[in-house]
Structure 1
Amino acid sequence: MDSLLVLILSAAAMTAIVGTRYLLVSGAFAWATNIREPGLYAGLDIQIKREIGWSLASAAIYGIPAGIVAWGWDSFGWTQIYTDVNAFPAWYLPVSVFLYLGAHDTWFYWTHRLMHRPFWFKAAHAVHHESRPPTAWAAMAFHPWEALSGAFVIPVLVFLIPVHVGALGTVLAIMTIMGVTNHMGWECFPKFIVNGSLGRWLITATHHQKHHDAYRGNYGLYFRFWDKMCGTDLGLGDWSRRPHERG
């Protein structure tokens, strides 16, 4: 098969995978929200349709570079992705996951903080903050410029940091689940985690909701490290009222 056609098919397949993953995971947590917090998304039908539309557009922006990387890896052996679990010591598997999450979190923090500068907020990031309050469908609701800023992080990292295909899948699963649960409007993690020592460094919905309430600070994706280092950690949100009841 012509290599260009294979490349196009790979990009299309990855776009479909990213889009389907979004619909399944966001749909599952939206369903859980209707059970756990009935009525939380009442009156948000138009907003949710808009979130789904922006998110599916973002799926294509994320899927195309991922498809190019998958094509290069399969056809030419590009990237540092490996399949032999014995190629590196066993301890490297969790370390590689942490390296990817740490690098992604660093990029996200600084680009997200940039997106809150007046020019970039108006040009791109305002799309994400039009969700008031965000729902389980909002995790990928980005303007194309903002989606583009995040779409190349993992594809670039696979050329730089060796990673087992299973560890890479773990990173993508964490990225998807954290993105959705941080936006869905209620805390799914138990209080002993959120209010404990782990919660002081881990971002959950309680932390990220504060960002959507205040429109500043709490810029991280997985960890509170950069927020704490840079003085932008606003602490945890107030869940005494439902998100749509907040001012």
Structure 2
Amino acid sequence: MPESFGPGPWAVIASAAAMTAIVGVRYLTTSGLFAWITGRVRPGLYKGLGQQIGREIGWSLISAAIYGIPAGIVAWGWQDHGWTRIYTDADDYPLWWMPLSLLTYLILHDTWFYWTHRWMHLPGPFRIAHAVHHASRPPTAWAAMSFHPLEAVTGAVVIPALVFFVPIHVGVLGLVLLMMTVMGITNHMGWDIFPRRLVHSRAGHWLITASHHNRHHEFYRCNYGLYFRFWDHLCGTDKGLSAP
């Protein structure tokens, strides 16, 4: 989180600008790293996708501002006014709450993502907004934040909203954001960075991986989850893994 910028509207603007810069740099650094790894491990996988990748980066940098502005407002409200349930002293809650809060945030985020993602596949929202993301065929490591602004708003509000209601240690919140970033990128890489024995294991049956999300980009009306396959299994929208 950025340092406090003091009172007044300029403090809010400065915090939002700082978080926008952080999200943008995080995107360029992490997506760039995983794109580089892809080039080393799967040379030629992104061959001929230069124009698509350029569009992905452009949309993603717009999304960085949409994600950064509410995050900056929340950071300002937390530091200057104590509005949120973010805490820094590990003794404020039992230690067992840290892993439980992590799981709670992931499950709630995954639930929000699944249902808003299904909504985005209705004809109107898809045509207006979600088609931008599905222009990534096949998806690349740069596509994780490649959203139309309307879709970016639906993704940007959930974690900032949760911190007003569900207590979370600032370190655990950082872990949530890290997992959100890594899963978002690795799900779009076009190949499974996780070991095959995990992807095809009993645990893998419940986890989203690149081969699971690839199938969504191939067939559209299936495999809607972000972290877990729970809702896909429950709602009959899980169509398995993409071919290697």
Q: TM-score, normalised by structure 2?
A: 0.97
Q: CA deviation at 1:2?
A: 4.7
| Structure 1 residue identity aligned to 2:117 | H
1:218 matches 2:227 = no
Paired with 1:19 and 1:237, the residues of 2 have a C-alpha distance of 30
Give the gaps of 5 or more residues in structure 2.
1-5
Please name the residue that 1:46 is paired with. Answer: 51
2:60 aligned partner? 55
Question: Among residues 205, 219, 228, which one is paired with 1:200 in the alignment?
Answer: 205
Matched, 1:3 2:8: yes
Q: What letter corresponds to residue 197 of structure 1 in structure 2?
A: R
1:72 alignment partner in structure 2: 77
Counterpart residue number, 2:39: 34
Q: Distance in 2 between matches of 1:40 and 1:200?
A: 26
Aligned partner of 1:171 in structure 2 is 176
Task: Tell me which residue corresponds to 2:238.
Answer: 233
| 1:97 aligned onto 2:102 | yes
Whole-angstrom distance in 1 between the partners of 2:7 and 2:182: 36
Aligned equivalents of 1:2 and 1:152: distance in 2? Answer: 24
How many angstroms apart in 2 are the aligned matches of 1:30 and 1:165? 29
Q: Deviations over 1:142-201 (max 9, x none)?
A: 000000111110000000100000000000000000000000111100011111111010
TM-score (norm 1): 0.96
The answer for the alignment partner of 2:3 in structure 1 is none
Aligned pairs for 1:121-140 (under 5 A) are 121-140=126-145
Number of residue pairs aligned between Structure 1 and Structure 2 = 239
Asked whether the 8 Å contact 2:7–2:80 carries over to 1, the reply is no
5+ residue gaps, structure 1: 240-247
Which amino acid is the alignment partner of residue 159 of structure 1? F
Please give the alpha-carbon distance, in whole angstroms, between the structure 1 residues aligned to 2:17 and 2:105.
25
Instruction: Tell me which stretches of 4 or more aligned residues in structure 1 moved more than 2 Å.
Output: none
Question: What letter is aligned with 2:242?
Answer: G
Shift of residue 11 of structure 1? Answer: 0.1
Aligned-residue CA RMSD (Å) = 0.7
